[in-house]
Structure 1
Amino acid sequence: MTARLQVVRAGALTTVQDDGRPGYAHLGVGHAGALDAPARQLANRLAGNRADAAVLETTLTGCAVRPDRASTAVVGGAPCRVTVDGRPVAWGAPVHVPAGAVLEAHPAARGVRSYLAFGGGLLPEPVLGSRSADLLSGLGPAPLRDGDELPLGTPHGAPGRADAVPWPGMPASLVLPVRLGPRHDWFTPAALRTLATAGYRVSPHSNRIGLRTDGPALERARQGELPSEGVVLGAVQVPPDGRPVVFLNDHPTTGGYPVIGVVPRESLAAAAQATPGTAVRFVPVR
């Protein structure tokens, strides 16, 4: 019989995430996958899983789950208090969860998204080769609700052992490199200076689709809208209010608002952990 993981407390937004669905943009299917990929991969490594195993991604308020078999679990990503049946256990390291015990990742002390990895990984039905939830398209498993159950895989490796684990710190401020283009010529020279010098802040309206910003509007040199064209992970799109939006994993595959630049993929994990109000600077690079 397949082991199961029962959701006791789903939290504000908890989803199943793995490496995502790269390579389907031409079909209108976005990437999805864990927003903080390095944190997910490290949690899997410590749990004895392959790096691409599916985990739970929480948002701010954490979650609580109950496995029906004894399991090794790792809670990483955004630091938080971790308990098993109410007793404190380690964050960022393998812990033993007895069958029927409740593992709880409490609200994030810093950052936004914590990751819960279990030995053997989570095994909801894959869609286009991925078990990730995509909030924009609705592909993959739905966001978790209290009482949901997820199948658990069979562990195939020993938990990782390390004297010290290099979990990245949560960002006190964001400095995002941005390569200008393809539509930076739709903006005035003053707007390009503003992008490079002004201070922005993470908007509370940010989500898995995009990091929205509050700050000065970028002035357009050309009016009207583009025909819809392809957009990529990290694209900095500028909607009619003039405030940049950095596309994250659940972004649409096409859009009609101009893209002033693109943030490289390796800088997006920090963006995924930036809480509302975090200072943001864009730094144009070649």
Structure 2
Amino acid sequence: MSSTSIITVLDPGVLTTVQDEGRPGFAHLGVPRAGALDVPAAALANRIVGNGPSAAVLETVLGGLRLRSDTGVWIAVTGAPVPLSIDGRPRGVQVPEWVPAGAEVSLGTPDRGVRSYVAVAGGFAVPEVLGSRSTDTLSGVGPPPLVTGQELPVGASVGEIRAHDTPRGPAVGPLRLLPGPRRDWFADSALDVLCAGPYSVLAESNRVGLRLTGERLPRVRDGELASEGMVFGAIQVPPDGMPVVLLNDHPVTGGYPVIAVVEPGDLWQCAQLRPGEAVRFTHRR
């Protein structure tokens, strides 16, 4: 993908990374999947500016991101709703916005949610690593988090700008659970305890895992497992009895028992939960 523009990072905010659909299929090499945490939001941003689903976007945490392009470009901002301005003038989110050459794009702080996504027509054309442009914050594979002064190449625009592509998002609700492989390590009531909730999000949560606090999940077996493979969305339970939902940058193996696995279609909600917010689970009886 040849570069047609350069976007300069004026301020990366709290944390901004490049993400695409991730690099699944490399767990045997010890490489996590990475990729955008809020998949529907990233996909919408790409569609609005005419990109294919695999185009790389920017995932930014709690706003503060400032950018400047050397040429005119189309952008779209989705995910956590942030105040967006272009050269100091308020602009809209979930719609295409034209950025003139040399103009500054600024994202404020969202009043809800955590992660916003910035797509540019043509996609961010940073080098691929193992078939993906995604930043993996655990293993360091892919581009590192953005820093001030960094220059990001933009690929050639290939699709039509879609001014009205703002479909209703996926349903928000309790995270649906599938049975985990180590339910026998827990009391028969443990899954009901987990679903009775709610649990609260801890500040230590990140792209590796959503860490929760609430009622302790009772176990019937002591000790820990030998390390075994972990899947996206697995709910590990450390010795303190507090669940951890493994997200995109999770380690590919682990030694804590997995009581359940979150339905893949519900995991996007974990991207937008703030510390202190409530999380509920549900499972089929």
The TM-score with structure 1 as length reference comes to 0.95
- Contact kept, 8 Å, 1:83 with 1:103, in 2: the verdict is yes
Q: Secondary structure at the match of 2:212?
A: strand
Work out the CA distance in 1 between the residues paired with 2:170 and 2:106: 21
Q: After TM superposition, list the pairs within 5 Å mapping 1:79-90 onto structure 2.
A: 79-90=81-92
1:87-107 deviation digits (Å, cap 9, x = unpaired): 111111000001111111211
Q: After TM superposition, list the pairs within 5 Å mapping 1:1-286 onto structure 2.
A: 2-162=4-164, 165-166=166-167, 168=169, 175-285=174-284
Alpha-carbon deviation of 1:59? 0.6
- Contact kept, 8 Å, 1:62 with 1:108, in 2: the verdict is no
Distance 1:193 1:169, change over 3 A: closer
Q: Secondary structure at the match of 2:280?
A: strand
Distance 1:170 1:207, change over 3 A: farther
The code of the aligned residue for 1:34 comes to A
1:97-121 deviation digits (Å, cap 9, x = unpaired): 0111111121112111000000100
Work out the CA distance in 1 between the residues paired with 2:62 and 2:118: 13
Distance 1:28 1:271, change over 3 A: same
The code of the aligned residue for 2:179 comes to L
Work out the CA distance in 2 between the residues paired with 1:89 and 1:58: 18
1:122-178 deviation digits (Å, cap 9, x = unpaired): 01110000000000010000001111111111111221132x61253896xx51111
Distance 1:170 1:83, change over 3 A: farther
The code of the aligned residue for 2:279 comes to V
Work out the CA distance in 2 between the residues paired with 1:30 and 1:81: 32
Q: Secondary structure at the match of 2:74?
A: strand
Alpha-carbon deviation of 1:14? 0.4
Work out the CA distance in 1 between the residues paired with 2:171 and 2:126: 30
Work out the CA distance in 1 between the residues paired with 2:141 and 2:133: 9
- Contact kept, 8 Å, 2:9 with 2:67, in 1: the verdict is yes
Q: Secondary structure at the match of 2:175?
A: strand
Deviating 4+ runs (over 6 angstroms): none
Work out the CA distance in 1 between the residues paired with 2:168 and 2:19: 19
- Contact kept, 8 Å, 2:180 with 2:234, in 1: the verdict is no
Alpha-carbon deviation of 1:196? 2.3
Work out the CA distance in 2 between the residues paired with 1:267 and 1:52: 20
The code of the aligned residue for 2:184 comes to D
1:201-226 deviation digits (Å, cap 9, x = unpaired): 11111100111111111121101110
Distance 1:210 1:122, change over 3 A: same
**Aligned residues, how many?**
283
The TM-score with structure 2 as length reference comes to 0.95
Alpha-carbon deviation of 1:2? 4.6
Uncovered stretches (5+) of structure 2, i.e. residues with no partner: none
Alpha-carbon deviation of 1:272? 1.0
